[in-house]
A and B are shown apart, each in its own frame.
Chain A
Amino acid sequence: MRWIHPLTSGEPADVVGGKAHGLGVLMRLGLPVPAGFVVGTAACRAYLRDGRLPGGLAAELATAVAGLPAGRVSVRSGAGVSMPGMMTTLLDLPADDLTDAVTEVFASWHTPRARTYRDLHGIPHDLGTAVTVQTMVYGDRDPRSGTGVAFTRDPTTGDPVPYGDVLFGRRGDAVVSGREHPRPLSDLAGREPEVQAGLAHAMAAVEAHYRDACYLEFTWESGRLWLLQARPGRFTGTAAVVVATALADAGVIGREEALRRVSPHDLRRTARIVPPADVLARGLGACPGVAVGRIATSADAAVRMAAEGPVVLVRPETSPHDLRGMAAAAGIVTARGGRASHAAVVARAMGRPAVVGTAGLLVGPDSISVAGRALAAGTVVTIDGTSGEVAVGEPAVTTSLAEAEVERLLGWADAVSGDTSGRPGPDRLRAAHDALTAQA
């Protein structure tokens, strides 16, 4: 076939897209992936050039679909470079004619939002996306089904402990929507030990392949595990330092590679909650820093209570009426919204630590609750705008997590740059990067 490739083709990401490339890696590692194929980026480029699908693609699609098990399919976008959430994905389609679905995904390359994303990240506008077609697996098929996302290591500390969320009896889109309160990954071991064992095996195999902490999306259907996506985890901050030094210590990567994987920005000193903490909920960190304060559930209450000490404003989402409450508060938590929401933008503009998109958080007039655990307004909470943690009470806070790992990495940096004069950490790392670039 000219336009369509098997998932195991081994073609590079610029030909089959990053998503299909990752699925091919999983299959070559012998891990369970739903049957499928990929329409390569060349077909999208032809579509973008001519305004219609290239000749022959429809026939190839029919042939490729005929090779899949009977049933419905998912049709997902995936360019050679990551453009998360910018293009269309279609789920649960009858597989009889996919030309409209493929056309729709190709056309989504040109949405203004996707264009803006490419302009911001210097991605050429004529690159095009691939389209991955796979047999659907259903996390909502029965009580022994479910879905989840996981990092092979904790993305906020870098510790070698898997971290993730699962939803029992739900499909993958439910995890991403944030409407339902997910369970911690550790719940899987008790309810689906075989799925958990399969996932642990997959995590080890994927880490060994990418030689990095990784991110996985998965579904289990009637007790059987399926992997839907895998890629390197792209950790930042303290976690980047901890993972890079751990992998170098284990001999998985060299010290120079460890240095390349950490950016000077990762060494910035940001206040963080020190585990263990009594974590009520975990959302998305939208503005780094730690805030401690009493819960206020409205802007008016935040202003009133702030006169007697710091408050944390907790809202379902925000409107302009919350602006003064956000100004009065030490920190902000919202149930809905992402890092690009009005609340997140205002929090960063005001320099307030913030947690947004806190799945399952309910805000009442005089209390908040998460998964049946209620806290009255006025209760002291601590929020970490890096990890997205909302903790009850006042756990310990530090600006120097993983000090030992940072010092060790900077020692390697000095050895590379040959400069051992006392300078700030980011400068020492930058000098090492310059020396490595000069060597290359």
Chain B
Amino acid sequence: MNVLHTLRCMGVTTLARVAEAAGLGESDVQSELIDLAVAGLVTYEPGDFGGWGVTPAGKTADAAGVAAELDAAGTKAGVAGALGRFLPLNTELLDLCEAWHLRSGTMNDHGDPGYDARVIALLADLDRRAGVVLAALTDALPRFGRYRVRLTEALRRVEAGETRFFTDDMASYHVIWFQLHEDLLVTLGIPR
């Protein structure tokens, strides 16, 4: 998956996370990032909240790149249709994240394993339905297949008891989904 576009949908992040999201080796991604930095499309910022990020020029270049990609594939209608089916699922996912955090208006203290198990089972059910949309998206543009792999991994870890992969980790189900949402909007050239 294209490194510039991957980073565009993630915000500012680490080399390891870009490589994981793109499904590429770290050394290849690092070399690509350096080339992109030389071209002025990405930049590296040190510090606690720093990392690799796309510059305004990089954003423009990526927008042109994804528009050309979509034209070449001739599948704009397919991607737009998938966004239409994604949005109700997005509302549902956010409902589930809210239910994971809050219960009857107060913070869920995760002291009721039955309740948590119910929310996780509903996430798994949503994930199955999202799979249909992801499959259609991947038919339209194969790079969307990475989200299927990443979301599956996050769900597997939640179900295995690593519940920070529901919303809390930067590789959590919600964060990956948030990037997928961004990717759909960027790919179709829709402003937020």
Query: A residues bordering B, Cβ < 8 Å?
Result: 111-113, 116-117, 119-120, 234, 236-237, 263, 265-266, 268, 288, 299, 303, 306-307, 317, 319-325, 327-328, 339-342, 344-346, 348-350
Q: Which of B30-38, B143-151, B152-160, B166-174 contacts A (4 or more CB under 8 A)?
A: B166-174
Residue with the greatest number of chain A CB neighbours at <10 A, chosen from B106, B118, B125: B106
Q: How many contacts A-B (CB < 8 Å)?
A: 110
Asked whether, in the complex, the Cβ of B99 is within 8 Å of the Cβ of A120, the reply is yes
Instruction: Please give, as numbers and ranges, the residues of chain B lying within 8 Å of A119 by CB-CB distance.
Output: 118, 122
Q: Is the interface of A mostly helix, strand, loop or mixed?
A: helix
User: In the complex, how many residues of chain B place their beta carbon closer than 8 angstroms to a beta carbon of chain A?
Assistant: 46
For this complex, 6 residue pairs linking A to B, each with C-beta atoms less than 8 Å apart, are: A120-B119, A263-B106, A323-B170, A339-B98, A340-B98, A342-B94
Asked whether, in the complex, the Cβ of A113 is within 8 Å of the Cβ of B101, the reply is no
Q: Residue of B at shortest CB range from A325?
A: B49
Is B141 part of the binding interface, using a Cβ–Cβ cutoff of 8 Å? no
Asked whether, in the complex, the Cβ of B94 is within 8 Å of the Cβ of A120, the reply is no
- B49-85 interface (Cβ within 8 A of A): 49-51, 53
Asked whether, in the complex, the Cβ of A317 is within 8 Å of the Cβ of B192, the reply is yes
Is B48 part of the binding interface, using a Cβ–Cβ cutoff of 8 Å? yes
Asked whether, in the complex, the Cβ of A348 is within 8 Å of the Cβ of B167, the reply is yes
Q: How far is the CA of A297 from the CA of B52 in the complex (A)?
A: 21
Asked whether, in the complex, the Cβ of A348 is within 8 Å of the Cβ of B99, the reply is no
Asked whether, in the complex, the Cβ of A306 is within 8 Å of the Cβ of B95, the reply is no
Asked whether, in the complex, the Cβ of B47 is within 8 Å of the Cβ of A236, the reply is no
Is B92 part of the binding interface, using a Cβ–Cβ cutoff of 8 Å? yes
Chain A nearest CB, measured from B44 CB (Å):
13
Chain A nearest CB, measured from B157 CB (Å):
15
Chain A nearest CB, measured from B46 CB (Å):
11
- B129-185 interface (Cβ within 8 A of A): 129, 167-168, 170, 172, 174-175, 178-179, 181-182
Q: How far is the CA of A269 from the CA of B13 in the complex (A)?
A: 35
Asked whether, in the complex, the Cβ of A303 is within 8 Å of the Cβ of B95, the reply is no
Q: How far is the CA of A266 from the CA of B106 in the complex (A)?
A: 8
Q: Residue of A at shortest CB range from B164?
A: A349
Asked whether, in the complex, the Cβ of B12 is within 8 Å of the Cβ of A324, the reply is yes
Q: Residue of B at shortest CB range from A266?
A: B106
Instruction: Please give, as numbers and ranges, the residues of chain B lying within 8 Å of A111 by CB-CB distance.
Output: 88
Is B15 part of the binding interface, using a Cβ–Cβ cutoff of 8 Å? no
A348-B101 in contact given A117-B95, A341-B94 (Cβ < 8 Å): yes
Asked whether, in the complex, the Cβ of A320 is within 8 Å of the Cβ of B91, the reply is no
Asked whether, in the complex, the Cβ of A324 is within 8 Å of the Cβ of B107, the reply is no
Asked whether, in the complex, the Cβ of B95 is within 8 Å of the Cβ of A236, the reply is no
Residue with the greatest number of chain A CB neighbours at <10 A, chosen from B50, B94, B99, B174: B94
